Amino acid sequence: MIEFFFNAAPNPMKVALFLEESGLDYRPVPVETKRGEQHSATFRAINPNAKVPAILDAGQPVFDSNAILLHLAEKTGRFLGDPARRGEMLSWLFFIASGVGPYSGQCVHFRHFAAEKSAYAEKRYSYEARRHWGIIEARLEGKAFMMGEDYTILDMAVWGWAPRIPFMLGEEAMAEFPNIARLMERLNAREAAQRALALPGKFPFRTEMDDEAVRHMYPQIFA
């Protein structure tokens, strides 16, 4: 059985979707990042970077959401798309991993949670987040999924972050990305997505972003 260490953040939700789509036997293990559980020695032995998600697969740790997606896809032989296009698929997976996710996260941070406001940081990360999402939007033009007609881990990786676009770039921002919105509608209609979305609600995750939560989530503020 796979042990899945998670919360309701975008990166763990990608993995939740894969687990539900694949039917793999797994046990969800909630990690209260707002209470600092990610910094425990027990969790750091699984992910030295102290971030969710992580999994234990037959006792072996795998961390970073996109690495987990690729690991599980190779393990099951599912959601990898056409083998002849593997290089193309990997290029997009790493683009999401190294660009879309980090710029989206930094955009959210500097717009909503930074202890000190920085007009430059907000402009920089808003611009880059919007630019990266624009590349995804263009990729989806005329396509059902990121790889055309094949539903793959790329779509799951996009699905984790795309619902945060309004919070990230403004309430009306999704209107700039109709192809992404269409993909989200398509994926959200899947039963596996509904189960994944319901998963965090089964656990009493802390939601308050008070001083204690900020201390655990952004320790550099107090360093």
pLDDT tens digit sequence for 171-186: 999 999 999 999 999 9
Q: Would residue 18 be called left, alpha or beta, if left means φ above 0 and alpha means ψ between -120 and 50 degrees?
A: alpha
How far is it, in rounded angstroms, from Cα 24 to Cα 135?
32
Question: Which residue pairs, CB below 8 angstroms and at least 24 apart, start in 201-208?
Answer: 202/28, 203/28, 203/30, 205/7, 205/8, 205/30, 205/32, 205/34, 206/32, 206/34, 206/35, 207/34, 208/34
In which band, very low, low, confident or very high, does the pLDDT at 213 lie, cut at 50, 70 and 90?
confident
- Average pLDDT of the chain to the nearest whole number: 95
Which structural domains are found in the chain, ordered by start?
2-78+195-222 (3.40.30.10), 83-189 (1.20.1050.10)
Residue range 86-112, pLDDT digits in tens:
999 999 999 999 999 999 999 999 999
Pair of tokens at residue 223:
């360093």
Summarize the confidence of residues 42-56 as an average pLDDT.
97
pLDDT value of position 178: 98
pTM: predicted TM-score of the whole model, two decimal places: 0.95
pLDDT value of position 163: 97
